[in-house]
Amino acid sequence: MKFGKGFKKHMVPEWTDAYMDYNGLKRLLQDIRQFKQSMQPPTAIRASQHRLAMHRAFSGLNLQASNLQNQGDIEDQVIAVNTTQRDGSRKLYKTKFLMQYEEGGEKEVTFFNKLDNELNKVSTFYKNKVEEALNEAATLNKQMGALIALRIKVEKPDFDDSSSLKRLSMDIDGTMPVRISSSSKDITPGTEHVDLTLGVNKDGSCQDACTAPDVITVITTDSSSVCGEEVKSRDFKRDPLEILDHVKINNPCESPVSTIKGVLNDCKESDLSFNKEEIRKVEERLKLIFIEFYRKLHLLKHYSFMNLSAFSKIMKKYDKISSRSASRSYMKIVDKSYLGSSDEVTGLLERVEATFIEHFSNSNRREGMKSLRPKLRREKHCITFFSGFFSGCSIALLVAVVLLMVSRKLMDKEEATSYMENIFPLYSLYVYIALHMLLYASNIYFWRRYRINYPFIFGFKQGTELGSQEVFLLSNGLAVLALSTFLAHLHLKMDLRTRDYGTYTELIPLVLLTVVLVITFCPFNILYRSSRLFLIHHLFRCVCAPLYTVTLPDFFLADQLSSQIPAIRSFEFYICYYGLGEFSQRRNKCHSHDVYNVFYFIVAVIPYWIRFLQCLRRLFEEKDVSHGYNSLRYLMTIVAVVIRSAFELRKGTSWMVLAVVSSVVATAMNTYWDIIIDWGLLQRQSRNFCLRDKLSVSHKSVYFAAMVLDILLRFAWLQSVLYFNFGSLHGKTVSSIISCLEILRRGMWNFFRLENEHLNNVGRYRAFKSVPLPFNYYDADIDKDD
């Protein structure tokens, strides 16, 4: 793989704009190459290339000549790099091309101007991110101090040994580095910073802070010395339990109990209760924070390495194309920049590893590193094989079902209508679910193709997210299971020899449903257990809305449920058909039961009601009025769904008029929200006409086609009101087709919704999830000391 493709592939998706524009610099080099080639006749070009090839072949034999070439004065005459300082500490690099008056020199001047801009951009971004990491390290230092003190208080309440107390105090102060100093040239004169990596011995020499963790050295310097000629040190040795007098437990109202307490008490903080359950919760949250912080540091280190490699590669290309030797001089400047010289991230990585292993893994390095560095999921050949095998089986079974129905002339018989009324709702459930899973597999494929970071957006645990092939395998496996059961059911139903066992035949769909539910809720570590638990967990949070804090997976899943109303009604039909004994008489009179009709309304409203409550919860927490408008949209949708359901059951002109009016209003609001808010399209001042500034898909026609399809499919409900005539198609078949069209619309909506979310993260360089801190400090003096 060429470096350019590998560079793009290994970028942090949310930081794409902050990386060096390698392709843009390559295009400038191509312009330089074309100009130089245009200045020479073809024969001269071939002769020069031949001489250059011979030079490359034989230059390596003369080591002395090679060294002279690298150490000569020629490259010093090509460029001169000047360093300026802005805003006190920000360094800017400006390269002067000394041969700009040569023919074509302005193109090389443009190249170096672009190169300087990229170096300044990358260095500034990297420095800002490192400073954020250092500030976060300081916060984690205080959190770990409170955790250790809490452990002492709970596990050893009568602890009063002075020597051990001093040692534990040293552990608290040296848990995490508040600041890891960079090289001396990065210390701004006249500023004060905290340094935990270097202590000061009695003789004035520097020592590692790990050997003296009880001393926090505050260095005030106006020179370039790391240890400093003027050192003011202060020992923060204190009673480790004193810190507990200045902290409270942070309650982010993530559970139903904390939500109710927060509403009644209007308080998100509580005093320490000093019990082991409290320690366990704090440790779990801090463990997640450390894992996420460690991942951030690794991405920062990889960001630095990739950009340094890109600068080296592009300068080598410049030397090759221009036949000059400027790379060595420029790379010296790159290595001296903050991007190439800063070692703070490496130091933080080592300290985070040591702290995590000691305090969260019982000093077991293997288990600690396993938690910090989860293994990435690898593509398996067996997944590809079984995906193709099951897809072929599902197609063959579908053809067999169609041929059996045609050969038996099932649709021409009088009992066909009653049979379809009974059997179709029982098996259409799997059609809807399998289709939704197939669309989700295609969504994952295109998200990966266009570098949309869906695992981060959904909050999947690293290494557990399913790929498109895994989801495709599951959807085809479900299709094979459902189609084979339906084929067996159909054969037994039509066979005269098995008609005496009709009651047992009707139990086949119930057995199939039981098998699917058992697999879904199976607690054993089989069939992607982590993904199943993730789905069940967020489904439970949706059902309990608004008692849980609303996250993106919660409202995204609720939106999926709103497109699966026919599937949810199939569950209701299962309960009626088998619970009320309708299957024994092989008849469908569920709509004659008032309870069934009431739940027929409720089931259709549940997904929209969940979204309504979620919007109210977000409005209460975030104070964003847009969530209020969104809740109003779902309220209008609930009204439209209820009126349409009433029209299906009661009929009548007045119900039809009410259904049309309410549905048109709700559809107009939903369409506007889809295109303008969820997809972020139709922006007036966008660089792309009627779209948005940033697009993941290069073909703009895709977005216009998606908007048109969304509008058309949004009005598919007209079939349930106006009853268009589709010839010989059965009414249940038509309604199922309309339901499948809504699922197709939802699959299309999923891609553009997540694309817009990803681009918002890119605009804010947001590549990490935030975990609430367990402790809140409320004493200013303690904060200042720490």
pLDDT digits (tens, 9 = 90+) for 417-460: 666 667 778 888 999 999 999 999 999 999 999 999 999 899 88
Angle between helices 415-449 and 468-494 (to 10 degrees): 170
pLDDT for res 74: 45
pLDDT band (50, 70, 90) for residue 763: confident
Tell me if 703 is assigned to some domain.
yes
Q: Which domain holds residue 730?
A: 381-763
pLDDT for res 205: 38
Highest mean pLDDT among 351-360, 647-656, 710-719: 351-360
Whole-angstrom distance, CA of residue 127 vs CA of residue 133:
10
Q: What is the mean pLDDT of residues 737-761?
A: 93
pLDDT of 668 > 70? The answer is yes
Whole-angstrom distance, CA of residue 314 vs CA of residue 327:
9
Q: How many CB atoms lie within 10 A of CB 524?
A: 6
Q: How many domains does the chain have?
A: 1
Whole-angstrom distance, CA of residue 453 vs CA of residue 470:
18
30 - beta bridge partners? none
pLDDT of 45 > 70? The answer is no
Q: What is the mean pLDDT of residues 367-391?
A: 85
pLDDT band (50, 70, 90) for residue 363: confident
85 - beta bridge partners? 91
pLDDT of 278 > 80? The answer is yes
Q: What is the mean pLDDT of residues 354-378?
A: 85
Q: How many CB atoms lie within 10 A of CB 337?
A: 21
Whole-angstrom distance, CA of residue 775 vs CA of residue 211:
28
pLDDT for res 645: 84
Q: How many residues does the chain have?
A: 786
pLDDT of 407 > 80? The answer is no
Tell me if 40 is assigned to some domain.
no
Residue 195's identity, in one-letter code, is: D
In this predicted structure, which of 66-70, 296-300, 652-656, 737-741 has the lowest mean pLDDT?
66-70
Residue 342 has which token pair? 């800063």
| Cα 704 to Cα 598, 673, 691, distances in angstroms | 41, 16, 8
pLDDT of 402 > 70? The answer is yes
Ranges of H-type helices in 651-730: 653-672, 701-714, 718-722
In this predicted structure, which of 315-319, 324-328, 455-459 has the lowest mean pLDDT?
324-328
Tell me if 778 is assigned to some domain.
no
pLDDT band (50, 70, 90) for residue 38: confident
pLDDT band (50, 70, 90) for residue 229: very low
Q: How many CB atoms lie within 10 A of CB 568?
A: 16
Reported as half-sphere exposure (CB side, CA atoms, 13 A), residue 599 has a value of 15
pLDDT for res 219: 30
pLDDT of 63 > 70? The answer is no
| Cα 479 to Cα 150, 352, 486, 520, 715, distances in angstroms | 54, 47, 10, 15, 28
pLDDT of 100 > 80? The answer is no
Whole-angstrom distance, CA of residue 259 vs CA of residue 267:
10
pLDDT for res 267: 57
Q: What are residue 180's phi and psi, to 5 degrees?
A: -115, 115
Q: What is the mean pLDDT of residues 175-189?
A: 40
Count of helices and strands (H, E) across the chain: 29, 10
What does DSSP say about strands 90-97 and 79-86: parallel, antiparallel, or unpaired? antiparallel
Whole-angstrom distance, CA of residue 180 vs CA of residue 300:
15
Reported as half-sphere exposure (CB side, CA atoms, 13 A), residue 474 has a value of 21
**Cα 35–Cα 37–Cα 42 angle in degrees, nearest 5:** 155
Q: What is the mean pLDDT of residues 655-679?
A: 92
Tell me if 586 is assigned to some domain.
yes
Whole-angstrom distance, CA of residue 267 vs CA of residue 250:
10
- 190 three-class SS: coil
Reported as half-sphere exposure (CB side, CA atoms, 13 A), residue 747 has a value of 21
Residue 199 has which token pair? 């202590």
Q: What is the mean pLDDT of residues 270-295?
A: 86
In this predicted structure, which of 46-50, 268-272, 490-494, 664-668 has the lowest mean pLDDT?
46-50
pLDDT for res 152: 85
In this predicted structure, which of 15-19, 346-350, 677-681, 729-733 has the lowest mean pLDDT?
729-733
Whole-angstrom distance, CA of residue 394 vs CA of residue 483:
7
pLDDT for res 211: 36
Strand arrangement, sheet containing 269-270: 269-270, 247-250, 775-777
Regarding predicted confidence, which is higher, 185 or 244? 244
Highest mean pLDDT among 518-532, 592-606, 648-662: 518-532
pLDDT of 368 > 70? The answer is yes
Residue 403's identity, in one-letter code, is: L
pLDDT for res 142: 87
Tell me if 693 is assigned to some domain.
yes
Whole-angstrom distance, CA of residue 426 vs CA of residue 502:
16
Q: What is the mean pLDDT of residues 24-43?
A: 81
DSSP 210: G
pLDDT band (50, 70, 90) for residue 650: confident
Residue 266's identity, in one-letter code, is: D
Whole-angstrom distance, CA of residue 66 vs CA of residue 447:
49
Taking only Cα atoms into account, the Rg of the chain, rounded to an integer number of angstroms, comes to 34
DSSP 358: H
pLDDT of 631 > 60? The answer is yes
Q: How many CB atoms lie within 10 A of CB 431?
A: 22
pLDDT band (50, 70, 90) for residue 245: confident
Whole-angstrom distance, CA of residue 438 vs CA of residue 433:
9
| Cα 439 to Cα 81, 458, 569, 744, distances in angstroms | 54, 17, 21, 7
Residue 729 has which token pair? 């198609």
Tell me if 117 is assigned to some domain.
no
| Cα 33 to Cα 25, 26, 53, 317, distances in angstroms | 12, 10, 17, 10
Give the H/E segment covering residue 695: none
Closest CA to 466 of 533, 517, 539, 372: 533
Residues of the chain with pLDDT > 70, as a percent, come to 75
Residue 634's identity, in one-letter code, is: Y
pLDDT of 287 > 70? The answer is yes
pLDDT for res 471: 95
Cis upstream peptide for 374 (omega within 30°) = no
Tell me if 64 is assigned to some domain.
no
Whole-angstrom distance, CA of residue 390 vs CA of residue 28:
50
Give the H/E segment covering residue 95: strand 90-97
DSSP 377: P
Averaged pLDDT of the chain: 79
pLDDT band (50, 70, 90) for residue 531: very high
Residue 31 has which token pair? 């312009």
